[in-house]
Amino acid sequence: MMRSVGTLTRADLAEVINRKMGFSRAESLAMVEAILDHMCHALERGENVKISGFGTFLLRDKNERVGRNPKTGIEVPITPRRVLTFRASQILKDRVSQG
């Protein structure tokens, strides 16, 4: 049975930049923060974010629809909203499936 082995954090990403690129820890963390900030701002503007070989963060606008409370069966309106999804690239899917 496969299971998760942990969580990759901002600090972990900064550590890799520190080791492989030789930037200081503070510079490495600032670089990670700048990249994530840039991605967040693009998504806020309604842009999708594509990282080649990794995947795409996609925004989708969902219309208002009728949902049903599974416990009571009562229909309730679900308001329109924007949702964020992630679609992994084929390269990433292949790497994960070989895990």
The pLDDT tens digits of the residues spanning 29-85 come to: 999 999 999 999 999 999 999 999 999 999 999 999 999 999 999 999 999 999 999
Residue 81 belongs to what H/E stretch?
strand 81-88
pLDDT at 99 > cutoff 80: no
- Residue (of 89, 13, 16) closest to 52 by Cα position: 89
Q: So what's the pLDDT on residue 3? A: 54
Helix axes 25-44, 10-21, angle to 10 degrees: 130
Q: Give the pTM.
A: 0.77
Q: So what's the pLDDT on residue 6? A: 87
Q: So what's the pLDDT on residue 1? A: 45
